[in-house]
A and B are shown apart, each in its own frame.
Chain A
């Protein structure tokens, strides 16, 4: 029994290290985003720049989410969904980050520029 418990701790350690590794990889590869794309039930309904502060109320069939772009990041200020996970989610600003309101089928995604310019020569 002692050996087995010992192995459990090794497992926990390995998993926590894995989580740490994933976190480090994510932090080192994340790039600041420039546009917010909002998708409702699979269809794109909004495309806004992160640079301009903006508030938008998204309504459909009695459901609403309030999208707030402020200081280069976006979050959901208010919503009338049951679990409020989208509202509790912290503001996102990096490429690839997402906020999802599953009950409302709402997806908020951050994208960067479509083309990366490595160098320019004249």
Chain B
């Protein structure tokens, strides 16, 4: 069981990093820093439903660490990390409430991720003006959340793995 879990964790982390990197090199659609589709969240959503909460945190933190520290800097790491931690905390909560479907959980996660990032950036950089981006970030989070949610939902239904 332990080996199985480690292997699955490693695969999900690897896929998440790959998707994250892919998104980083593809051109961004909208003129606001931090707007992205969140493809890297597909394996994370998978983990939310198929693995333990601790595993989800592990995957997220390792992914953020490798991507931010390898390709950018400490500041980007902090912002990404806060967005990620806030995002998965919300997703795990929403999933356990059994109140929302996979898509709903993904939407909540997407919005939480964007909000977490921008609020942390505004706090650390001391630029309250960044909060002006909140309305757009919420909307972008909803749209991205729906898309990622639909894809993740399909995966979660059809892939018969589960390590809890």
Contact yes or no, A8 B103, CB < 8 A: yes
Contact yes or no, A8 B128, CB < 8 A: no
Max chain A CB contacts within 10 Å: which of B28, B107, B127, B132?
B132
A contacts, CB < 8 Å to B: 1, 4-5, 7-8, 11-12, 15-16, 18-20, 22-23, 26, 83, 85, 88-90, 96-98, 100, 102, 107, 109-110
Knowing that A15-B142, A16-B138, A85-B32 are A-B contacts, what are 10 other residue pairs whose CB atoms are under 8 Å apart, sorted by A's residue number? A1-B101, A4-B98, A5-B101, A5-B103, A7-B104, A8-B101, A19-B139, A83-B27, A85-B33, A89-B31
B contacts, CB < 8 Å to A: 27-28, 31-33, 98-101, 103-104, 107-108, 111, 127-132, 134-136, 138-139, 141-142, 146
Bound-complex Cα distance A38 to B142 (A) = 33
Bound-complex Cα distance A88 to B103 (A) = 31
Contact partner, B100, options A11, A18, A19, Cβ 8 Å:
A11
Bound-complex Cα distance A47 to B111 (A) = 35
- Given A107-B127, A109-B127, CB of A88 within 8 Å of CB of B31: yes
Q: Which chain A residues border B99 with CB–CB below 8 Å? A: 4, 7
Q: Which chain A residues border B142 with CB–CB below 8 Å? A: 12, 15-16
Minimal beta-carbon separation of B52 from chain A (angstroms): 22
Max chain B CB contacts within 10 Å: which of A7, A11, A98, A102?
A11
Q: Which single residue of chain B is at the shortest CB-CB distance from A89?
A: B31
Contact yes or no, B104 A4, CB < 8 A: yes
